[in-house]
Structures are given as structure tokens and as C-alpha cells.
Amino acid sequence: MKYIEKLQYITHDIPQLTHIEQVQLACEAGAKWIQYRCLSKSDEALLNDIHTIAEICDDWGTTLIVTSHIHLNGKADIQGFHIEDMDADFVALRKLVGNDITLGGSAHTIENMIRLAKEGADYIGLGPFATTNTKPNEFALLGIEGYASLMPQLESLNINIPILAVGGIKIYDVEALMQAGIYGVAISEAIHSADDFIEAYQDFYDAVKFNGT
């Protein structure tokens, strides 16, 4: 099983910080897992970002995951991809990138999670937990009750795959989420919109570490 970090920071298009600046701050805060999520740029601009971000991540020993742009595999120092398309064929994607590349997928239901686990995903981002401004969607919010319901179902099927809660998570949600049985959390807005980015990241890290197993 591949190493999967329990606290993942996801970059976004935001006015106050570039993706590169977000990565620099996250790494300075101690981040060991960055998901570069940019759906607004050309391949050339994406690669310009990714090359710089990869150097920062390499300096700090941080894993770099790229959202969705799997066609960029091999063109930069990318350790993995997170695929948001819940209908994506992970068997085909695994054949495309090989076994060394980390593949994560998004899920909303138990059926989504079962399929991802069977098709070879390395981890699952399950959500949305709550309303989020960084990735608006029409999925029903899971809330604590959703995770508390879904995690035992997964366990009863003997499916063992890291599940990360995602979507509008605040620092005060972490304890209950971890108690619901999730592996970790993926955070964006609660960190990049904080008064102190580094302090916010470290607060989340402490919360995950304290409440984790």
C-alpha cells in the first residue's frame, strides 16, 4: 500500500495567493502532501506552475498530486493524480500510468467507493462534507452523519482503503470526522482564507494527529 498523508492541502485559483505561493506556504508549514488543483490554465501554463511547484515539493520532501490532468504524466515530477470524474475508468487509468503513480478518486456514495477500491485507486476523497466555495457542486452534503454511516458499510465489506473527508471542513469538525472512522482530511479554504496560512495549516495538522489512530 502506498503512503497516503492524513492531511492534504489542495491549491485553488484564489485572488490573494498564486498556486505557487500556496504551495510555498504549505510546505513551510510542514505539509507533506499537496494537491495542485487548477482547471483554468493551458497545458503550457500548467506545466510552468508544476515545474516550479515540483521543485518546492522536492526541497521539502512533499508529495505532489495533480488534479485530473493525467495527460501530463511523465512531463513533470508528479507523484500522482487525483481524478474528480466519478465515472472515470480506473482500470484503464492504472494501465496508462503504471503502478508507481498514486491515483486518488472522488466519491460521494458507497457504490462510488466500492468501485474505486476494486479498480485500484490508492485513496478516496469522500464528500462534500459541507458547503464549499472552492468547489461548488450539487451533491447532497454528507455531514458527520454521512461519514458515520458510510465508513462502517465499507468496513463490513472488508474494503481497506484510505478515505479522506473533503469539502468545507473547519478545524472544529476534525475531531468528529476522525471519530467517524475516516483516515484523514483534505483542506483548502479553511487554510488559504485564514489570517495566518501557516498557523491554520499547523492547527489542522495538530487536530488530525491528536484525533487520529
Which of the residues are catalytic?
A: 37, 106, 135
Distance in angstroms (rounded) separating the CA atoms of residues 46 and 62: 19
Q: Are 31 and 208 in contact (CB under 8 A)?
A: no
Between the alpha carbon of residue 51 and those of residues 29, 79, 121, 199, the distances in Å are 21, 12, 25, 26
SS3 category, 1: coil
CB atoms within 10 A of CB 1: 8
Which residue matches cell numbers 458547503? 131
> Which cell numbers in the block locate residue 85?
470524474
Helix, strand, coil percentages, rounded to 5, for the chain: 45, 15, 40
> Which cell numbers in the block locate residue 4?
497516503
Q: Where are the beta strands (DSSP E) in 11-143?
A: 33-36, 63-67, 80-83, 102-107, 123-126
SS3 category, 133: coil
